[in-house]
Amino acid sequence: MALQENFELEGNWLFRYRGILPLVLLGAGMAVYLITICTSGWLFAAVSPYWREYEYVCLAISLLGVFIRAYTVGHTPVGTSGRNTQSQVAEELNTTGIYSMVRHPLYVGNFFMWFGISLLTCNVAFIIIFMLVYWLYYERIMFAEEQFLRRKFGECYLHWADKTPTFIPCFRKFVPSALSFSWKKVIKKEKNGWFALLLIFCIFDGIAVWQLGFHCNVILLALVIVSGVVYLVLKYLKKYTKLLDEQGR
């Protein structure tokens, strides 16, 4: 099989099971974190006196990823930028808003979300490995997605791709979104990610409390409880009402 077809085949397979990578990284990250704090790695030793502040810096980086995802999803029409896993879906080509600056904004958002979590491990080797694995993993997914879009939208896609960076945004290329921002779509599509992110940070904080006797981050714990309640309410509203439905979004 030619390398191009092999890349696309691998990318489609990874796209279908892309939810597995975060679970693998999370498990590995927690194991590395335990080893690092037990052996007092140099980075952990350096930041431990300022652990609470370090946690908030990591959280801010992850929340930047949440913001990027929310901004992206909130400006897209139905049938695009979804969480589908069975196959590629694109009813139309997004070229305005954040898509005028970068071709894969959702994966940029994912990177920052998980980069903030990887920093919590305080293990430089793991952080570097995370970045390499993330790039190799999503490089194939992005390749497969672009092959799909190229076949479906032809010259329109090629013209957009020729002037739009793949992963590192070019802010001077920004063109206002053709659609207004939809909070309803963001709430429906992204509520899982917000709650899961805060819960992961709380688990890491709990490990530090358990292993090192640090004081529990009460603010983080409160955020997890509030976001958990909000998540359950939104889950109910989505399943049993139409309050979050919006025509064309």
* Interaxial angle between packed helices 183-212 and 105-120, expressed in degrees from 0 to 180 and rounded to the nearest 10: 10
Are the beta carbons of 142 and 166 closer than 8 angstroms? yes
- Contacts (Cβ under 8 Å, ≥6 apart) of 56: none
| H helix runs in 154-217, sequence order | 155-163, 183-212
Residue 148: the pLDDT is 86
Residue 107: the pLDDT is 94
Task: List, in order of start, the domains of the chain with CATH numbers.
Answer: 3-182 (1.20.120)
The CA distance from 18 to 29, in Å, is 17
The CB-based long-range contact list for 147-150 (8 Å cut-off, 24+ gap) reads 147/8, 147/11, 148/88, 148/90, 149/88, 149/90, 149/93
Among candidate residues 70, 76, 65, the one with its CA nearest the CA of residue 22: 65
Per-residue pLDDT of the chain (249 residues; tens, 9 = 90+): 556 677 677 777 778 777 777 788 889 999 999 888 888 778 888 888 888 999 999 999 999 999 999 999 998 887 665 555 555 666 678 889 999 999 999 999 999 999 999 999 999 999 999 999 999 888 888 888 888 888 888 899 999 999 999 999 999 999 998 788 999 889 988 888 889 999 999 999 999 888 888 888 999 999 999 999 999 999 898 888 888 888 766
The CA distance from 64 to 123, in Å, is 21
CB atoms within 10 A of CB 73: 25
DSSP state of 173: G
3-state class of 239 per DSSP? helix
Residue 40: the pLDDT is 77
Residue 53: the pLDDT is 93
